[in-house]
Amino acid sequence: MIRTLRVRNLAVIEELELELEPGLNVITGETGAGKTVLLGAIATLSGRRVSSEGVRTGAATAAVEAVFEAPRLLERARDLGLAREEDTELLVTRSVSREGRGKVFVNGTLATVSLLSELLSDALEVVSQGEHQRLLRPEVQAQLLDAYGELGLLVEEVASLHARWHALAKEIHARRASAEERARREDQLRFELEQIEAVDPEPDELESLEAEHARLAHVDRLGQELGAALELLDGGGGVRERLGGAQAHLRTTLSTTLSRDKSLSEIAEAAERAQLELTETVASLERYLSLLESDPARLAQVETRLAELRRLQSRYGPPIEAILVYRDGAREELELIGGGEARTAAQEAEQAELARSLEAAAKRLEKARRQVAGELEVAVARELAAVGLGRVSFRVAFEPLSGKTREGWEAPCAPQGRERASFWLAANLGEDPRRLRDAASGGELARLLLALRNVLRDEERGGVLLFDEIDAGVGGRTARRVGERLRWLAARHQILCITHLPQIAAVAQTHYRVEKRLRSGRTLTGVKRLEGDARVDEIARMAAGGRVTETARAHARELLAR
């Protein structure tokens, strides 16, 4: 609901602030006082077009501000990035300059008109002649019929099956379109796998092959160099013999009384360890030399193997590990690609089964909708009679929906089903029914929408409804019934209603009077909340055509007391 409204410099309104209440709020006043301007100011918050011609003469900018108390609106604003988690209310401001430049702010955040429309267009509905009403949109009528009949589960089933069918159709189409590309890719992968598997590289193979190749390619030079090294270590007068002599002198020294120095023992032990290590080194060198022999055949094998590995490296990456990773990935991809026709056939069979399920669900939804449509027609007829439109014939028609997708594929039905409901009516006996938006105007349209709202009151709640001209062509008992229906609807919505009828004004929970006055040669519009005797006088004025008499006051009190 709107809690506070402020309007500045809009047409005849210089500055106006209004505290609104839940339920039914009526706005009355003389013709031309500015009632419709006030209602239009509120309507601009839904994102409708604002003209710079509405800026009050002498002002640079016109602005409308409203504070909303609505948890659902706050959640939507948070989703749109226009409110914080800690916010408990919504402050919406819209302004337009004389040059035509406009600004929108939501809780202090600059927004666009399209964002404002997305936020509030469904929460604010204007019901008046010539206005584009949400309830007049065919897709909304279809949604309301489904909500009235509690068909949500069937609607969701059809939408879900259609989504699955469409996703599978896209996949099948993609497979068909890429069949040639898949065949080319399959050939390439098979060639590459055969190339890698023919070589069959091992993770640590390259390093050992390179070491073996270096040994076989330089066997003579290695024998010479290593033989010389062995002679120096173990030949006559070599390191091993000299080290043995040094050890003998150390043992002699330690076995006599020449020295009791502990550090000398440590030196002797180090020499002992050096002797052992030297012995092992000599043994290893001798073994290596014994195995070192020229093998041209093996050298040729190693060179051939190295050449094969390096060819793979040049194509798939230097590390052997990279070649093995590519091989494994190629195997997986080939497995996915392989059997393409069989996979496509399986998907087509699955799609056919989905199509049968979708068609069956769509038929169930169609049957349920047609049953609910009859119930809705009866309920709306009762409401129309209650607001003086008993001669109006209301019908729910069904329009077939094409199953063709945006890609041009033919599905069993549309995501919404095989058909869509739309509301039709004949405003007078003997007339052919026409679409809702084309069949009524002015007060008839407003009362028709009021009737629909009351029938569907449990399906939508919590909005702000702005009624203008709902009393056109209405009087007497019918006017009272219209007022009662408005008050009934106000249990679910906040309603602002401009009226000229005392019967409607009398049933409102809150009553405002729009007044026009002159100041310094300028026309100004103000709004006053009426209570007590002031409200009695206003209803008396409306009942008596402008002249307030005691008889008119008595009639006003009677209307208020009902």
Q: Note down pLDDT in tens along the chain; length 562 residues.
A: 899 999 998 888 888 888 999 999 999 888 777 788 888 888 888 888 888 888 888 889 999 999 998 888 888 888 889 899 888 999 999 999 998 889 999 999 999 988 988 888 778 877 765 554 667 788 888 988 998 899 999 999 999 999 999 999 998 887 777 777 777 888 888 899 999 999 999 888 888 888 878 887 888 888 888 888 888 888 888 888 888 888 888 888 877 755 567 788 888 889 889 989 998 998 988 888 887 887 788 888 888 888 888 899 888 888 888 899 999 988 888 877 766 667 778 888 999 999 999 999 999 999 999 999 999 999 988 888 887 777 888 899 999 999 999 989 999 999 999 999 999 988 777 778 888 777 765 566 677 777 877 887 655 556 888 887 677 667 777 788 888 888 888 888 899 988 888 999 999 999 999 888 877 777 778 889 999 999 999 999 988 877 888 888 998 899 888 7
SS3 61: strand
Q: Which residues contact 62 (CB under 8 A, 6 or more apart)?
A: 8, 9, 10, 50, 54, 55, 56, 95, 96
Beta bridge partners of 27: 498, 512
Rounded CA separation 493/24 (Å): 8
Residues facing 63 on adjacent strands = 8, 95
Token duo for residue 449: 């929408």
pLDDT tens, residue by residue, 344-371: 788 889 999 999 999 999 999 999 999 9
Whether residue 317 lies inside any domain: the answer is yes
* 182-235: pLDDT as tens digits: 778 888 888 999 999 999 998 888 888 888 788 878 888 888 888 888 888 888
C-beta of residue 158 within 8 angstroms of C-beta of residue 415: yes
For 144, the token pair is: 């309301």
Within a domain: 406:
no
Angle between helices 442-455 and 476-489 (to 10 degrees): 40
Task: Convert the pLDDT of each residue in 138-183 to its tens digit.
Answer: 888 898 899 889 999 999 999 999 999 999 999 888 777 777 777 7
Longest dimension (CA), the chain: 150
Establish if 201 belongs to a structural domain: yes
Residue 195: give the domain boundaries. 183-337
Enter the tokens of residue 7.
């309007």
Residue 244 lies in a domain: yes
Residue 226 domain-assigned? yes
For position 483, what pLDDT does the model report? 86
- Could you tell me how many residues make up the chain? 562
- Please give the single-letter amino acid code of residue 6: R
pLDDT tens, position by position, 283-295? 988 888 887 887 7
Query: Average per-residue pLDDT in the chain?
Result: 85
Residue-by-residue DSSP string for 200-240? ---TTHHHHHHHHHHHHHTHHHHHHHHHHHHHHHHSTTSHH
Distances (CA, A) of 143 to 47, 395, 438, 528: 22, 16, 20, 39
pLDDT at 519: 77
The three state secondary structure string of 87-114 is: CCCEEEEEEEECCCCEEEEECCEEECHH
Residue pair 27/496 in contact (Cβ under 8 Å)? The answer is yes
Residue 506, amino acid = A
Q: How many folded domains does the chain comprise?
A: 1
- Has residue 263 been placed in a domain? yes
Residue 455 within any structural domain of the chain: no
**In this structure, is residue 409 part of a structural domain?**
no
Task: Return d(Cα 144, Cα 196) in angstroms, integer.
Answer: 65
